[in-house]
Amino acid sequence: MHRRSTTTAVLALTALTLITLPGCSTSAPSPAPTTRTAEPEAASANSKPGKVLTTEQLRERLLNEADLGQGYTRKPERNSGRDDVTVIGCPALEKLGGDAAAGGSLDFPNRAKAAFTYTGSADSEVSQELYSDTGTRLSAGTGRIFDAMVSCPVYQVVVGNTPVKVQTQKLTAPALGDEQWSQLITSTTGGRSSIVKQTAIRTGTLLVIVSGSPGLVDTHVEKALGKAGSPS
């Protein structure tokens, strides 16, 4: 079977499907925490940045432990992109390899990310990524990759020498921002599975992606959009 390495940008999305694999959580989605902090996002979630934001500005708009509430610990930053990742059995993703994806991916120069562990009931993770570029580029790049991933209900990702079975399911995204994408990804390796939900919202020149345990994503996606659109 033909194999082809994808670009770093595509792998950044794919790698998020594997964020719980090091600890390899069970396949049951983690419940949302019962304690929630105040929700300033209600007044700011519709804010639309009118210009492209710098990486420094994006960092200031990331969620932090105070925004999330008790039980969250920020994880050290790590490079999620890998050169030794191969996609098998998903032609749409394979076509995004090499120079074919140049300029139409999530490889935007202005970006920031943060990841957190939540220990309120069970070890779970939630991560946030912010990107900024023109609305046209954000729309095209994000839509292209999400469409490619959900076009293949089942495919395989080989990370180094480790094969990972990936199952994707398109979900209805919350009605926020200008455009929305959401998917549920089940990754299985060594007989153990993890479930990651990934929701992306574009508003103006800002793209917000929240990934992790489904309950945590649902709890914090609007809050993430609110702070990113109008930082405190």
39-67 pLDDT, tens digit per residue, is: 333 334 445 667 999 999 999 999 999 99
Cβ contact 228:59 at 8 Å = no
Produce one character per residue of 197-223: b if its CB has 16 or more CB atoms within 10 Å, e if not: bbbbbbbbbbbbbbbbbbbbbbbbbbb
Residues 6+ apart with CB under 8 A from 71: 33, 35, 118, 119, 120
> Is pLDDT above 60 for 7?
no
Strand order across the 192-203 sheet: 72-74, 110-118, 124-132, 206-212, 192-203, 179-189, 162-170, 154-159, 85-88
> Is pLDDT above 90 for 205?
yes
Q: What is the pLDDT of residues 82-105, one digit of tens each?
A: 556 788 888 888 777 533 333 334
Q: Write the class of the CATH domain 8-26+40-229.
A: alpha beta
- Average pLDDT on 173-178 reads 96
Backbone angles phi, psi at 189, to 5 degrees: -150, 140
Residues 6+ apart with CB under 8 A from 22: none
The pTM of this model reads 0.80
DSSP state of 8: H
User: What is the Cα–Cα distance from 62 to 224, expressed in whole angstroms?
Assistant: 7
- Average pLDDT on 12-37 reads 41
Q: What is the pLDDT of residues 177-203, one digit of tens each?
A: 999 999 999 999 888 988 999 999 999
Which range of 84-88, 108-112, 158-162 scores highest in mean pLDDT? It is: 108-112
User: What is the Cα–Cα distance from 155 to 158, expressed in whole angstroms?
Assistant: 10
Q: How far is CA 191 from the centre of its chain?
A: 24
How many CB atoms neighbour CB 60 within 10 A? Answer: 14
Reported as type and span, the H/E element at residue 57 is: helix 55-60
Q: What is the pLDDT of residues 207-229, one digit of tens each?
A: 999 999 999 999 999 999 999 98
How many CB atoms neighbour CB 103 within 10 A? Answer: 9
183 three-class SS:
strand
Check residue 22 and give its pLDDT. 39
DSSP state of 54: P
Cβ contact 119:23 at 8 Å = no
